[in-house]
Structure 1
């Protein structure tokens, strides 16, 4: 047992970090505790820590625990941590090892099915993390983590954007629609998983948005527009939220879920929407030089491609 925390201590100065730096390892009564911490360091990741012989054996998991057995996630084996880390959360100063904000994402107990130098099979019993997992070594400190059993979330939707059909006049049943500006921008679907989005390859500023979601999964629908000389991404639909596909839900339900996210940043915002108010929205579109108005049926599901449930009425 002596020496298990040597590497941990060598990377930390107790006078510079609020992290626990104990003298000797300890243990919980059952010896089977685990914690997962969400760590907003230089790169967002989740730290999985399993109690073993008085310390917390640790892996940094960049995308968090896999929700689908068909997709394994990288898990980087790091130094053993002290048992006091089971409840640690706080701000590690920038410039220090692991500098950034750390919070407890979940904790509980686990069962060991196998533990060897290159394979660890466990059953997690937590509030947010539960089920059977296997960690297996690939090369050096790199491991992979695999979920065993059924997926615990809906599959991500893989579809084309829903497009409005053009017509000259507003719908007769105005009260059954929400009216929004037609922005005239470029359509963009933004999938977010594990605090990351593929859309950031083309638009690096979206990394900040994705990281703000933490472990929450989402697929956002919107448009890239230029307003006041600056590029802005306006979101007006939510196709997937926190493990659940919303494409079959009415637009009113998807819109409420989108607004609950309270998306507002330097490069993105939630587009305004006005149920049952065509005339003032069309007038505002004219005054702002926008192409027109989009009428969206409140009871419409998300239909890929052109749809008569969304109508574009030019200004």
Structure 2
């Protein structure tokens, strides 16, 4: 990673891009601009595989690494960082859609940007202090082999109260009842889809799954990476059901027991559902399942009309109790 002559720092970058086809900045040859070597940017890159691009202004270019799982928030975990070609300084403000048949095709979003200070910079180790709106602190990148580096957070966790995702979480289960609750104002109602219960653990742009017993299983085909890309850098545990809807296998998400480093087990059902709805999870392979406070009778009639097995009645104030069968959740057949 030794500095090259100014006239060839961007040769590799230009060689991989067609200025007539990509919206990315492709500056012509010539002297590089002079900056203050203090700008950094992290871009969320929805290419063939979701990753985050970490870039530091250095000697007239943006020295760049692709970080598949994003920057580590705690010193307990190191993340892979793959050194890539230098980018032009103009790339620090780039957002847009790179055509799919072009190098790096996919959406690019600025995830964070700010300033940084250099403590050490050589061919094998880069030590910096970053000051962004979403990430701040001391980080070190160290080379392992070839273009493979690792990135390590040197400071204490960015959020000391954040908790990692659980390794496994057995889902809360409903009891079976023949009638809907009488106090319907205290309940919400969902469709029972008759599918397979799955919990998704989404982190670093990827998802893994467990079944109704908490055992690791394969998830819906192709859904793991795509669902991870939908949430980006937000870690979450999602509770749902894999069922066939309109002829297509779909992961129907109905709860979020853990989000953004916070367990939501003691948060009432109504608030968990509102937080889940705010995530806007909707794709070809997954959907946020609807919920209907109040009128369970109409939901039950609609379930019967669709040939579904029944409805789930859930108390609006109910916590999430992993592995428990609770009367706060009730399955009522049609």
Instruction: Give the TM-score of the pair, scaled to structure 1.
Output: 0.91
Distance in 2 (alpha carbons) for counterparts of 1:11 and 1:277 = 58
Instruction: Give the TM-score of the pair, scaled to structure 2.
Output: 0.86
1:13 equivalent to 2:28? Answer no
* Residue-by-residue CA offset, 1:166-206 (whole Å, 9 max, x unaligned): 23333343211111222221101112222221249542331
> Which is worse superposed, 244-253 or 149-158?
149-158
Distance in 1 (alpha carbons) for counterparts of 2:62 and 2:246 = 52
1:175 equivalent to 2:185? Answer yes
Which of these residues, 235, 239, 249, is aligned with residue 267 of structure 2? 249
Which of these residues, 31, 36, 44, is aligned with residue 42 of structure 2? 36
Q: Is the CA contact 2:136–2:158 (under 8 Å) kept in the aligned structure 1? A: no
Which of these residues, 249, 252, 272, is aligned with residue 231 of structure 1? 249
Stretches of structure 2 lacking an aligned partner (at least 5 in a row): 210-216
* Residue-by-residue CA offset, 1:77-118 (whole Å, 9 max, x unaligned): 011222222212223333332222222221110122222221
Aligned match of 1:194? 204
Find the residue that maps to 2:19 and give its secondary structure.
coil
User: 1:106-185 to 2 correspondence within 5 Å?
Assistant: 106-148=112-154, 149-152=156-159, 153-157=162-166, 158-185=168-195
Distance in 2 (alpha carbons) for counterparts of 1:37 and 1:264 = 23
Q: Is the CA contact 2:220–2:242 (under 8 Å) kept in the aligned structure 1? A: no
> Which is worse superposed, 95-104 or 50-59?
95-104
Find the residue that maps to 1:197 and give its secondary structure.
strand
What is the CA RMSD across the aligned residues, in angstroms?
2.1
Stretches of structure 1 lacking an aligned partner (at least 5 in a row): none
User: 1:36-115 to 2 correspondence within 5 Å?
Assistant: 36-115=42-121
1:55: how far off? 1.8
Q: Give 4+ residue runs of structure 1 displaced > 6 Å after superposition.
A: none
1:237: how far off? 0.8
